[in-house]
Amino acid sequence: MSEITNFKGEVAQVADTDPEASADALIKRVGERVRFVRERKGIPRRVLSEMSGVSPRYLAQLEAGEGNISIGLLQRVSTALGHRIEWLLSEDDPWTSEVIQIADLYRVASKDVRQQVRDILAPAGNEGQRGNRVCLIGLRGAGKSTLGAYAGAAFGVPFVELNREIESQAGMPVNEVLALYGQEGYRKLEAQALERIIATHDSVFLAVAGGIVAEPDTYKTLLANFHTIWVKATPDDHMSRVRAQGDTRPMAGNPEAMEQLKSILTSREALYARAEAQLDTSGKSVEQSCEDLFTLIRERDFF
């Protein structure tokens, strides 16, 4: 121990720091933890060598606290053992806690059980996880893209349409994605695009396709990471707005289009209602709907 005088003139003792000793302690700690996990899982060193691509001789040195292993090789070992590299490097002692047991149970649990655990540990109400991300959901023709673009400009944050992200990723229009990869392929690209937006934007307005709510895992991700607003309108408004945009597909050769639209709205109503807030744009001008949206965002403290 060494003595120092602090800014109050008081004498205090501090532990001496020896970089070489600290490094040796780290190497020894990592080796002990690698051996502990390997033996606990019943993995022979030869098998771990084959799994990680690290030679048995090097692993033996590592476990003995003598191997100055590179980060790259250590990452291979930690991956082969099924543990994050941070667990091997941490100064805390994770082996005396329930962390490893819980991790082992989670690893062998079913997909549904894992999702339940994630929902408990990171519930949809986690405000910090949502940040300043706002997502507009609802059926085509509700006004999501128009309102999202205005909101992005008003609050000074990017506005993103998820379908445009999918097109950028796939290198082709959405209708070609659907034709080439089918609904399953489209949904996979949709989930990937959503994860990419979450990873790259702390503040964003997002507009998504109306059918995203029918994909449970993707919708859960959306609800957990965005403040969601259901932009809704009457079936007549939905249909007239889509046609006003020059899209005649809803009515082309389909005299029952309106009934189908009403059926879709009814079937998805409970899913859309899981959003934090609702914005009814029926019979309103773009200006009035924007004003209502901005008021809602401020009142709910989404920004």
Residue-wise pLDDT tens digits, 44-90: 888 788 878 888 888 888 888 876 767 777 777 777 776 667 667 76
For residues 31 and 160, membership in a common domain is answered with: no
Assess if residue 99 is contained within a domain.
Answer: no
For residues 79 and 227, membership in a common domain is answered with: no
For residues 235 and 140, membership in a common domain is answered with: yes
227-232 sheet: strands from edge to edge: 159-161, 203-207, 132-137, 227-232, 277-280
Q: How many CB atoms lie under 10 A from the CB of residue 24?
A: 14
For residues 77 and 204, membership in a common domain is answered with: no
Per-residue pLDDT at 70: 76
- Report the DSSP pairing between strands 203-207 and 132-137: parallel
Residue matched to tokens 């893209």: 145
DSSP string, 70-126: -HHHHHHHHHHHTS-HHHHH-SS-GGGSSHHHHHHHHHHS-HHHHHHHHHHHS-TT-
For residues 223 and 150, membership in a common domain is answered with: yes
In the three-class reduction of DSSP (H, G, I as helix; E, B as strand; rest coil), residue 303 is classed as coil
For residues 189 and 289, membership in a common domain is answered with: yes
Residue pLDDT, tens place only, 265-288 = 788 888 999 999 999 988 888 899
Assess if residue 182 is contained within a domain.
Answer: yes
Assess if residue 5 is contained within a domain.
Answer: no
Residues 6+ apart with CB under 8 A from 10: none
Sort 262 into a burial class: Cβ within 10 Å, 0-12 / 13-18 / 19+.
middle
Structural contact between residues 152 and 158, judged by C-beta atoms closer than 8 angstroms: yes
Per-residue pLDDT at 206: 96
How many residues does this entry show for the chain?
303
CA-nearest of 66, 87, 58 to 24 is: 66
Q: For the chain, which residues score pLDDT lower than 70?
A: 1-20, 41, 67, 69, 82-84, 86-87, 90-101, 103-104, 106-107, 111, 115, 118-119, 121-128, 238, 242, 244-255
- State pTM to two decimals: 0.57
The domain total for the chain is: 2
Among the candidates 43, 67, 92, a domain finishes at 92
For residues 290 and 142, membership in a common domain is answered with: yes
Written as six digits, the tokens of 213 are 């709510």
**CATH number of the domain enclosing 18:** 1.10.260.40
Range of the domain at 154: 126-299
For residues 208 and 163, membership in a common domain is answered with: yes
**CATH number of the domain enclosing 229:** 3.40.50.300
